[in-house]
Amino acid sequence: MGRCIISTGSGAMADVTIIGAGVAGLWAAWALNKAGMRVRLIDRNGAPGPHGCSWWAGGMLAPFCEGAVAEAPVVAHGASAAAAWAEVTDVTYRGSLVVALERDKGELARFARRTSGHEWVRDGLAALEPDLNIPQQALFFPSEAHLDPRAALGDLVAALRAHGVQIETGHATPDDVSGPVIDARGMASTVPGLRGVRGEMVVLRAPDIALGRPVRLLHPRHPLYIVPRAKGVYMLGATQIESADRRGISARATLELLSAAYALDPRFAEAEVLETGTDLRPAFADNVPRVVRQGRVLHLNGLFRHGYLMAPALAQQAADFLTKGIKGDLFHED
């Protein structure tokens, strides 16, 4: 076999080897290091980048909005995600807005019935988001937050380095290393029951538009969210297709995402398309992340569309198990 196996030298002293340096693996390293364990972190592609699905995330820390369809653990654990991230990176606490076009305002009422932590905004919308061209009404989730996912990954890598944890570049599977292993390889993992859910996104630069917080547009056919990043950059997301197809964004998805953005603010038509992206969200059947124990291997996987929202809690449960034997609500035995 011509496979490059990682050397065993540098990690010989580690208590746990973590394979995969996406949002799950990085958080596992952070939580275990904090718990006093010596960790070794390996990724076949090195530091986070376009090769991992964490790179393509929106970066919304919006547990209440997600609660419209997500299971209870996502809302419960997601509520502490912003505080966890704030330890290592910049988190913007401005809440999030949910809007609908006049024709679809029934969708807004339904969303309100299915979520908590929100207030109706009518007259105050102009003060909150002066640039938003939806005059009617909106749902405001004041306690929600967002971050720039790529900056956050970089900050987490830097924080780990400051604590003596480096990312080793090398190909490894749990069989290649001895001792306790955390497998956080996402879709590359062989953990049973995992499937890929395709997501497509677009990044635009629209310096004329000033949105201060993530905006979700409810639409019966083309739901959309827009997350503001620094310097007039906006992330538009995201499709959710039951397919493991990793090819580039489809023309249909591009049309739908851009049309929805245009409906929200016609000035998006003048935006510069910086980037499009496609990747797979690893998910279990209930779309809730899991810590799955298989002998000496702990799988951290299935973060679905909740990578940034759920990685801190998932990592904490892995750390609690490895250090104290505590099995949290996300823990499964295979």
Q: Are the C-beta atoms of residues 100 and 218 closer than 8 Å to each other?
A: yes
Toward other proteins, which CB reaches closer, 103 or 122? 103
Alpha-carbon distances, residue 213 vs 165, 221, 225 (angstroms): 33, 23, 11
329 binds other proteins (CB under 8 A): no
Containing H/E element for 325? none
Q: With respect to other proteins, which residue has the nearer C-beta, 71 or 87? A: 71
Q: Check binding of 86 to other proteins (CB under 8 A).
A: no
d(CA 291, CA 36): 20
Per CB under 8 A, the segment of 67-75, 128-136, 165-173, 310-318 that binds other proteins is 67-75
102 contacts other proteins (rule: CB under 8 A): no
Question: Among 110-118, 128-136, 152-160, 267-275, which window interacts with other proteins (CB under 8 A)?
Answer: 110-118
Stretch that binds other proteins, among 37-45, 158-166, 227-235, 242-250 (CB under 8 A): 242-250
Region at 294 (left for phi over 0; alpha for psi -120 to 50; beta for the rest): beta
Residue 196 sits in the site that holds other proteins (CB under 8 A): yes
Gap between the Cα atoms of 28 and 41, Å rounded: 9
Q: Tokens for 198, please give them.
A: 């395709």
- The packing angle between helices 23-34 and 307-324, to 10°, is 40
220 binds other proteins (CB under 8 A): yes
**Interface size with other proteins, residues (CB under 8 A):** 19
Q: Using CB under 8 A, pick the residue from 7, 34, 90, 114 that binds other proteins.
A: 114
> At its nearest, how many Å lie between other proteins and the CB of residue 175?
24
Neighbouring C-beta atoms of residue 299, cutoff 10 Å: 26
Query: How far, rounded to the nearest angstrom, does the alpha carbon of residue 331 sit from its chain's CA centroid?
Result: 20
- List binders of other proteins among 18-47 (CB under 8 A): none
Residues at the site binding other proteins, with contacts judged by CB under 8 A: 69-71, 110, 113-114, 195-196, 220, 241-246, 283, 285-287
